[in-house]
Amino acid sequence: MPEPAGLDKVYSAVEETARLLDVPCSPDQVAPALKAFGDELPGSHIVFSMAAGERHRGEVDFDFSLTPEGGDPYATALAHGLIEETDHPVGALLAEVQARCAIASYGVEYGIVGGFKKSYAFFPLDDFPPLVKFAGIPSVPSALGEHLDTLTRLGWDDKVSAIGVNYHKRTLNVYLAAAQVPAQNKVALLRAFGFPQPDAQVMEFLERSFSLYPTFNWDSSAVERICFSVKTQDPGELPAPFDADVDRFARGVPHVYEGGREFVSAVALAPSGEAYYKLAAYYQKARQSSNAAFAAKQDDAAS
């Protein structure tokens, strides 16, 4: 396996990826992330991701894993001035989770333009917290608890593999394994959440999905979005209209592992019927076993 990338090489890959999408990128934009988290990046699982469509143009995300020994990434972001402290429950959530659940690894989503966006927590593959236990954590949005009966009835009673906490949008993603869940249950979940029936192409995609994550907020009982993911080496499987940015990204995004590029494609659905499409590309695969759960979010049914 190739040697892990040093920070200069990581920055060069960020810059190269941003250039593919005409996203402005300079050392000043990336330096805060490298200063706060750089010690772990040579051994991290690193992923570049983008969303298709005009509304999402102008940004590319730089995601990376962190060992649990490195501590809460939100606390690190606060300490380095990457984000402002808040008294909203979103600011307390990760600390409350780590006080109650075993953590296998953490992760960060960092926008080249938007800066620090999200913290992730990944749970051990043999110790996923029960959904009902997770929903009982004080800072978790009450909306999750309101949907527990639906989720458990359709097969997601003990499968919280990871969470993503978005500090700007003040939302929570709850990652649930989907590979072993019948396709009709996925459709039933959409219906129960008040989402319209997807078209045939999206239906075929969600039937193959290995992971899904609903998005909750603290202001409403409604599910804001639900996203389905498929791992692939063929980004053309993404059921989106042709997008030149997606094509350039898929053909040119750098990677430092052997073999062809590997991707995770995703479809995010909304109750309005709107859909948007995301593509994530592995840049580097984690070497440390403590980062394995971050990789699992991308590449197996534990996500």
Residues 254-287: tens digit of each pLDDT: 999 999 999 999 999 999 999 999 999 999 997 6
What letter represents residue 174's amino acid? V
pLDDT at residue 6, rounded to an integer: 86
Token representation of residue 204: 């075929």
Q: What angle do CA 24, 236, 45 make, to 5 degrees?
A: 55
How would residue 3 be classed by pLDDT, with cut points 50, 70 and 90?
A: low
Residue 226 reports pLDDT greater than 80: yes
pLDDT at residue 239, rounded to an integer: 86
SS3 216: strand
Q: Which residues of 61-80 are buried (b: 16+ CB within 10 A; e: fewer)?
A: bbbbbbbbeeebbbebbbee
What DSSP line would sit under 155-198, residue for residue?
Answer: T-SS-EEEEEEETTTTEEEEEEE-TTS-HHHHHHHHHHTTPPPP
pLDDT, the chain, mean:
91
pLDDT at residue 292, rounded to an integer: 41
pLDDT at residue 179, rounded to an integer: 82
Rounded to two decimals, the pTM is 0.92
pLDDT at residue 266, rounded to an integer: 95
Q: In angstroms, how far is the first alpha carbon of the chain from the final one?
A: 24
- Which of 140, 165, 162, 7 has its CA nearest to residue 74? 165
How many other C-beta atoms can be found within 10 angstroms of the C-beta atom of residue 221? 13
- Which of 129, 110, 69 has its CA nearest to residue 288? 69
Residue 296 reports pLDDT greater than 90: no
pLDDT tens digit string along 50-99? Answer: 999 888 999 999 999 999 998 899 999 999 999 999 999 999 999 999 99
How would residue 298 be classed by pLDDT, with cut points 50, 70 and 90?
A: very low
